[in-house]
Structure 1
Amino acid sequence: MITAGFVADEDRDAVTATLRAHLAGLPRRSRFYADLFTAHGVGSATFTGLDDLRKLPFTDKQTLRDSQQEAPPLGRHAGVDMTEVIRVHASTGTTGRPSWVGVTRRDSEAWTEMTARAFVTMGARREDVVLHGAGLTLFVGGLPIRDALERIGCTLVPIGTGATQKAVLALETLGVTALHATPSYIRYLGEHLRGQGRDPRGFGVGKVFVGGEPGGGEPAFQRHVEQEWGARVTEGLGNADMAPVLFAEPPGAGGMRFTGGRHVVVELIDPDSGEPVDPEPGASGELVYTSVDRECCPLVRFRTRDRVLVTGRARDGAPLIRCVGRTDDMLIVLGVNVFPTAIRDIVQTLHPRTSGVLQIVLPGPGPRVEPPLRVEVERGEAPCDPEALRREIEELIRSRLTVRAAVELVPPGSLERTEMKSRLTRVTGSARA
């Protein structure tokens, strides 16, 4: 069964039964899904097993935004009234207007369970002192992960973002053993310490947990952070609309495994045709999530736009994945699909001749771009022949990604840093003077 590829064998019957009951009652709770199912001629009798999910219609981000505009604040798709909601989060809005995500008490408990399982998978333990460097406001990688780390029993240091000096103070005084943040902030913090003449390895951090944006699993990035901090790097993947972390990387596994348990069903689909893809090693596709027991945001076949590659299998046979980018960030150069994160991975391999920081400069909104692809790359600290380095980067992009690039080397520190998610592209209209 392709759809059941991410469901553990021991969970399959329970997930099927719970989801069948959930879908049967969904039209009574959500006017959005009542109308959507009617429009597509499907109903409770349509779903008898996990492979029947493919018979149900997709939900996407734009339909959720439209739903909330029609019925604010939580939308026509919400399954409960606002009085049942104990907390509200929001998507980051990187692909458009942010949307609100309501969480009931039961939803929050499920999130904590899933996220705690994910962090244990990544290597978090009760004895860890974790510096939590993610936004503690509306970001689902903030408060829900705090809940999960406290559930595990870790000592939590909730620094958040915009408080790097406090993060340094915590590193100096609290015996921090693990960091959690976006890949962008982990890079930022390391550079900040180096700028003060301090070696990140000297703080004794042994674990780095990253998530919140693609790139944490890039081999060059992981090698860089492991060398910079002397720590093991593991990655997690989640979604604001479904759950903070649903996939997590066991140390040394070479990919993330599904850790959502019985709360979410995952599909892998072809992003163009929408047809199911068997999650066998080497397969590539878009992740689609269906909630099994969600109360407030009971999404059915939600298209995440996260494009992943199946890298292998865990010892128990579970698929392992890497997120290679978002389908809505992808660029098309003469028919070739190019993910900005793939270019960043190439540039990172040349550290310390490059800093690993880059921006792709576009003449207008993508995804179609005429060659050559303009790429600004920061020089690193190591001495180099700039012209030879520029040609080397262009040749690596051409040979690995089969697109022609025009690389411009820029001085160290000249491209924007961020403590949150990095934007790897910039439209010419917002170019630097």
Structure 2
Amino acid sequence: MAASEYLDERIETATHEEIQKLQDARLAKQLDYLFVRSVFYQEKFRAADLRREHYRCLGDLQRFPFTTKEELRESQAAFPPLGKHIAADLDDIIRVQSSTGTTGKPSFVGLTRRDAEVWTKATARSFYTQGLRKPDIVIHAAGLTLFAGGLPVKDAIEFAGAMFVPIGTGASEKALYAIQLLKANAMHCTPSYAAYFADWVRREAEIEPRELGLKKIFCGAEPGAGIPAVRAKLQADWGARVTEGLGNADMVPIIFSECPDQSGMHFNVPEYVFAEIVDPESGESLPIETGVTGELVYTSLERECVPLLRFRTRDRVTVLGTECRCGRTGFKLRCVGRMDDMLIVLGVNVFPSAVKDVVSGFHPQTTGEIQIVLDEPGPKVAPPMKVVAEYADAACDLTALRTEIERKIKAVLTVSASVNLVAPGTLPRYEMKGQLVKKAYENKVAV
């Protein structure tokens, strides 16, 4: 019997009107819960002079205040172990996960049994959207401890009926052995690790990565797999389809993911999360339509332990479409980068991932590895922006290559750059999230 195109066709192909009706009912119920169970939100609502009757439909949500990561960290520090925003009894919590702490100290997230079930179903749907199916054998080459992309991913892959092989990070030799022994056809990892592992296989095993037979690579935890030039190189290296997912440890591990059409990540979990895109400066809610760019904001629709209202993710995204050939009706987007990573050069916003896209576009003359060097704390950067990029073995005229890269950065990103080309293998590789910015000012010796 052929596998279905959808894990939950009723939700994945629902009309906008059907989804809106479902979300309206679920948000009303979630607000009832918050007003009764969450001291954190009781205080926020009181400060904003908001009462339960102020919410009547989805449009009223904009009247309610945002929640920030800083507030959650402060809440957890002041009211350990899980903060004032906990809304379930501690005895009902069966697991604690954590954010990676990319932009600060990691914060813990509690799950009740129902929360864990929701995470499993939601994350499984996102993997299924990417093409995960029951016969697949998946090498998990990502964190397995507190990381929200670890155990919850295990639960989701097993829920979908595929085989989960827990390798973790820092174990490339074991990953290679498992792929060969089990004849694995899929891998879950960061795009940084997919690039790192390809180089490792060539160097240590002296074979081409594509010879291993992987056909599906599921990426997440950082921008990269959706960058056209980066994706093209990874797919050429591995001979596999590379797709990406986007989630949030405080909400759901994977909320958006690509279908095999690879034309943007679908919003996959509308019955569990309400998604907004807002203007990062004004906070104004923007229409979900093609071309809109802004910050992702999430609201829980079915959460017991730590339900969040209008949580600002700091992820800057662009809507790529509201329809797809796959039949899914969830809108599609691409993550441009973290708002915290954004640099400003003479008033122009620049995301490191965009610089990497430009440099990767010069493959095979470049390896695609870059670092932006900051002599002073950002986000403002004095021109020209300093970019270190690796040339590849195929490069011949380095002077001409440097000039072409600088010209392309100027043409595409409208900022001037000073490019320093270094030998292949000079820049660090990462087995988890890549670091595209080097804070040279931190190593300055005080006089």
Give 2:76's aligned residue: 68
Work out the CA distance in 1 between the residues paired with 2:181 and 2:106: 37
- Which amino acid letter does the alignment assign opposite residue 17 of structure 2? D
Q: Is the 8 A contact 1:253 1:314 kept in 2?
A: no
Q: Residues 431 and 179 (structure 1 numbering): CA distance in 2 closer, same or farther, change over 3 Å?
A: farther
- Which amino acid letter does the alignment assign opposite residue 249 of structure 1? E
Structure 1 unmatched runs, 5+:
1-5
Indicate whether 1:27 and 2:35 are aligned.
Answer: yes
Indicate whether 1:395 and 2:393 are aligned.
Answer: no
Give 1:282's aligned residue: 291
- Per-residue deviation, 1:276: 1.0
Work out the CA distance in 2 between the residues paired with 1:21 and 1:319: 24
Work out the CA distance in 2 between the residues paired with 1:305 and 1:83: 32
Indicate whether 1:325 and 2:334 are aligned.
Answer: no
- Per-residue deviation, 1:432: 11
- Which amino acid letter does the alignment assign opposite residue 212 of structure 1? A
Paired positions, count: 428
From 328, 342, 358, the equivalent of 2:354 is: 342
Work out the CA distance in 2 between the residues paired with 1:393 and 1:310: 28
Indicate whether 1:149 and 2:157 are aligned.
Answer: yes
Indicate whether 1:51 and 2:63 are aligned.
Answer: no
Q: Residues 294 and 397 (structure 1 numbering): CA distance in 2 closer, same or farther, change over 3 Å?
A: same
Cα displacement string for residues 192-215 of structure 1 (whole angstroms, at most 9, x for unaligned residues):
011132111111111111001112
- Per-residue deviation, 1:86: 1.0
- Per-residue deviation, 1:430: 4.8
Secondary structure at 2:96's aligned position in 1? strand
Q: Residues 87 and 7 (structure 1 numbering): CA distance in 2 closer, same or farther, change over 3 Å?
A: farther
Give 1:304's aligned residue: 313
Secondary structure at 1:398's aligned position in 2? helix
Give 1:244's aligned residue: 253
Indicate whether 1:169 and 2:177 are aligned.
Answer: yes
Q: Is the 8 A contact 1:7 1:261 kept in 2?
A: no
Give 1:358's aligned residue: 370
Work out the CA distance in 2 between the residues paired with 1:359 and 1:201: 27
Give 1:89's aligned residue: 97
Work out the CA distance in 1 between the residues paired with 2:15 and 2:113: 25
From 257, 267, 288, the equivalent of 1:258 is: 267
- Which amino acid letter does the alignment assign opposite residue 360 of structure 2? Q
Q: Is the 8 A contact 1:308 1:322 kept in 2?
A: yes
Work out the CA distance in 2 between the residues paired with 1:417 and 1:423: 9
- Scaled by the length of structure 1, what TM-score is found? 0.96
Secondary structure at 2:285's aligned position in 1? coil
Give 2:211's aligned residue: 202
- Per-residue deviation, 1:11: 2.9
Alignment of 1:217-232 (within 5 A): 217-232=226-241
- Per-residue deviation, 1:233: 1.0
Cα displacement string for residues 283-334 of structure 1 (whole angstroms, at most 9, x for unaligned residues):
1111100001111110000000110111123235532100010111100000
- Which amino acid letter does the alignment assign opposite residue 281 of structure 1? T
- Per-residue deviation, 1:351: 1.5
- Which amino acid letter does the alignment assign opposite residue 12 of structure 1? Q
From 349, 364, 367, the equivalent of 2:379 is: 367
Work out the CA distance in 2 between the residues paired with 1:53 and 1:276: 10
Indicate whether 1:410 and 2:410 are aligned.
Answer: no
Q: Residues 397 and 172 (structure 1 numbering): CA distance in 2 closer, same or farther, change over 3 Å?
A: same
Work out the CA distance in 2 between the residues paired with 1:431 and 1:118: 41
Q: Is the 8 A contact 1:184 1:418 kept in 2?
A: yes
Give 1:422's aligned residue: 434
Work out the CA distance in 1 between the residues paired with 2:170 and 2:426: 20
Secondary structure at 1:208's aligned position in 2? strand
From 283, 300, 306, the equivalent of 1:291 is: 300
Moved more, 66-75 or 312-321: 312-321
Q: Is the 8 A contact 2:299 2:308 kept in 1?
A: yes
Secondary structure at 1:180's aligned position in 2? strand
Percent identity reads 51
Give 1:234's aligned residue: 243
Indicate whether 1:379 and 2:397 are aligned.
Answer: no
Q: Is the 8 A contact 1:355 1:379 kept in 2?
A: yes
Work out the CA distance in 1 between the residues paired with 2:358 and 2:395: 19
Work out the CA distance in 2 between the residues paired with 1:80 and 1:91: 20
Work out the CA distance in 1 between the residues paired with 2:110 and 2:16: 28
Q: Is the 8 A contact 2:298 2:313 kept in 1?
A: yes
- Per-residue deviation, 1:73: 1.1
- Which amino acid letter does the alignment assign opposite residue 410 of structure 1? V
Work out the CA distance in 2 between the residues paired with 1:164 and 1:10: 46
Moved more, 257-266 or 80-89: 80-89
- Per-residue deviation, 1:48: 1.1
Give 1:3's aligned residue: none
Q: Residues 160 and 420 (structure 1 numbering): CA distance in 2 closer, same or farther, change over 3 Å?
A: same
Secondary structure at 2:165's aligned position in 1? strand
Work out the CA distance in 2 between the residues paired with 1:318 and 1:145: 21
Work out the CA distance in 1 between the residues paired with 2:30 and 2:264: 31
- Which amino acid letter does the alignment assign opposite residue 208 of structure 1? I
Structure 2 unmatched runs, 5+:
1-13
- Which amino acid letter does the alignment assign opposite residue 88 of structure 1? V
- Scaled by the length of structure 2, what TM-score is found? 0.93
- Per-residue deviation, 1:275: 0.3
Secondary structure at 1:268's aligned position in 2? strand
- Which amino acid letter does the alignment assign opposite residue 16 of structure 1? D
From 262, 276, 280, the equivalent of 1:267 is: 276
Give 2:115's aligned residue: 107
Work out the CA distance in 2 between the residues paired with 1:426 and 1:392: 23
Cα displacement string for residues 229-268 of structure 1 (whole angstroms, at most 9, x for unaligned residues):
1111111000011010000101114101111131110001
